[in-house]
Amino acid sequence: MAEIAHKGYAPTIWESLAGAPHPSLSFQGSFWHSVAPAGPAQMRLEGEDRTEIAIVGGGFLGLSTALHLAEAGHKVTLLEADEAGFGASGRNTGFVVPNLLTGLDPRYAKAKFGDEKGDLLVRMLGEGGELVFDLIRRHGIDCWGKQTGWMQPIHAANKVEWLKDRVKQWQDLGRPVKLLSREEAIAETGSEAYHGAFLDPTGGHLNPLAFVRGLAGAAVKAGVTLYSDSRANGIERKGAEWHLSTDRGTLVADRVLLTTNSTGGGLAPKAEGTQFPITLFQVATQQLDPELRKSVLPNDRCSADTRKDLIAYRWTDDNRIVTGGLLANPLGSVERGRTHHLGRLQALLPQLPELHAEFAWQGRLAAARDYMPRLMRLGDGAFSAIACNGRGIAMTTALGRKLALWLDGGSNEELPLPVTDPDPVLLPKLAPLAFSVWLPFSRRQDAKDLRGSAN
Ligand SMILES: Cc1cc2nc3c(=O)[nH]c(=O)nc-3n(C[C@H](O)[C@H](O)[C@H](O)COP(=O)(O)OP(=O)(O)OC[C@H]3O[C@@H](n4cnc5c(N)ncnc54)[C@H](O)[C@@H]3O)c2cc1C
């Protein structure tokens, strides 16, 4: 099979209202797609195949689990509905963030999962950046990977004490993070608007599609059978085996792990219903004068600030800036997706010339109601894992390795999260609207923080 025809995935209610997924904001329209090296050769599941462990979903989580399981000697087969990286993994901003979302700190993880598991989880995540860049080196993945550090600048002065506490919590775990002063934050970001910053030097950035395709290549080399264009549309227990059916074939497996994030399409409705799908817009600007790199992110770090409706930006190797985020109003969002986030960036960095979106695309992530990862039991030997929650590259890659150790015979005690039953949200069909409805409140809170700082 030379190249697959991208079919896309079923739109959420939010995306349908916006007339999306819009062809002009497609996977193929992304900047990453225009520059990423090809992934491994593609083949489709046709007829029946048998395996020991079936993984469904070829994003960072599924591929990291598959790679580490194959390296431990297991027979692993991965079903991907489209091509590896077609989901959030191939469309994101490429920030490697060894941290949880704003407001969720090691203390929060321990409160959620208990001291032991919470500690395992944050230690795993803290080491996630090191794991990602180690995999890049070990497998020679060509993905513009730069371990130059991840920054979280403070948008409002009244957040400084909170950030100090955040830095201390990670330092207490032995992580090499630090607090930047206002002057340092301004010099590092290029924006006078910031009051300080959290810096984790083990984070960084990469071309996410190139990284996920590189992971797929490494997994195939390690012995994983990877089927593309093979959406699993049914899962059934027959005797001691699991049968996963696709349009053209059946995969029979001893054990199954679903890693379908926000696009499972009803394969495991209760597990999928535990999360809120969130559509995000991304843009890459025109190529800019390289001189600007001396004042904007001069150390080539990536930056995502403390706003609830955060402003995130980074350079690409060919001197573009990639930014993006949420939009509150789905109607008319196709055009606004191109302009809204550039306008915010321009206000933050007035030294930039007029920006336009040479590439624009959208992607969908998913978040659980507590923004924490899940490992859900679907039946005897079948599980569904979700690790996204917006901060995904480090988290999903690192959790994939832990899941592989567990499926290789590790004990439940070694897992950094509990194994639970699916616990769907109320009215899951309406869940995609939740973040857009919530966004105006988030923006009001951001504005209030700024006013509070000015007083
Ligand atoms: C626009 C955007 C920007 C982001 N920016 C960042 C960032 O800068 N840094 C960061 O750390 N995180 C970021 N994230 C989050 C990050 O991308 C995700 O956390 C991560 O990619 C999730 O990986 P995953 O493997 O769980 O899911 P996905 O990458 O979504 O993979 C799921 C895969 O399953 C496949 N699939 C679904 N259903 C089926 C089925 N029934 N049968 C077979 N295959 C199926 C899909 O096609 C898909 O390839 C961003 C997300 C988005 C959308």
Query: Rounded CA gap, 238 and 166, in Å?
Result: 49
| Low-confidence winner among 22-31, 92-101, 342-351, 400-409 (lowest mean pLDDT) | 22-31
56-88 per-position pLDDT tens digit: 999 999 999 999 999 999 999 999 999 999 999
CA 9/CA 366 separation, integer angstroms:
14
| Residue 441 pLDDT greater than 70, yes or no | yes
- Among 47-51, 207-211, 289-293, 338-342, which stretch is predicted with the lowest mean pLDDT? 338-342
* Beta strand 312-315 pairing with 302-304: antiparallel
* Cα of 365 from ligand 1 centre, angstroms: 6
- Report the distance separating Cα 92 and Cα 325, nearest Å: 10
What pLDDT, on a 0 to 100 scale, did the predictor assign at position 178? 97
For residue 414, what pLDDT is reported?
A: 93
Q: Whose CA is nearest to atom 18 of ligand 1?
A: 392
Radius of gyration of the chain (CA): 21
pLDDT tens column, 392-423: 899 999 999 999 999 999 999 999 999 999 98
Q: Are strands 150-153 and 302-304 parallel, antiparallel or unpaired?
A: parallel
Reply yes or no on whether the pLDDT at 455 is more than 60. Answer: no
- Is-cis flag, bond preceding 21, omega within 30? yes
Compute, in angstroms, the gap from residue 295 CA to the centroid of ligand 1. Answer: 32
**pLDDT of 1 higher than 70:** no
CA of 245 to the centre of ligand 1 (A): 22
Contact 366, 278 (CB under 8 A): yes
Residue pLDDT, tens place only, 190-240: 999 999 999 999 999 999 999 999 999 999 999 999 999 999 999 999 999
Q: Which of 4, 89, 151 to mutate to test the pocket of ligand 1 (most atoms within 8 A of CB)?
A: 89
pLDDT above 90 for 95: yes
Using CA atoms, how far apart are residues 397 and 215, in angstroms rounded to an integer? 10
Mean pLDDT of the region 147-169: 94
How far apart CA 379 and CA 204 sit, in angstroms, is 38
Q: What pLDDT is recorded for position 20?
A: 54
Q: What is the mean pLDDT of residues 144-173?
A: 95
**Which atom of ligand 1 is the closest one to the Cα of 281?**
1
Shortest-distance Cα residue to atom 12 of ligand 1? 392
**Nearest atom (ligand 1) to Cα of 280:** 1
Rounded mean pLDDT, 434-449: 78
Pocket test for ligand 1, best of 65, 359, 393 (most atoms within 8 A of CB): 393
Expressed in angstroms and rounded, the spacing between residue 236 Cα and the centre of ligand 1 is 25
Q: What percent of the chain has pLDDT over 90?
A: 74
Compute the distance between CA of residue 154 and CA of residue 166 in angstroms, rounded to an integer.
12
Q: Quick one: which atom of ligand 1 is closest to the CA of 262?
A: 30
Q: Using most ligand atoms within 8 A of CB, pick from 388, 391, 403 the residue to mutate for ligand 1.
A: 388
> CB under 6 Å to ligand 1: residues?
56-62, 79-82, 86-89, 91-95, 97, 231-232, 259-261, 263-265, 267, 280, 282, 324, 363-365, 387-388, 390-393, 396
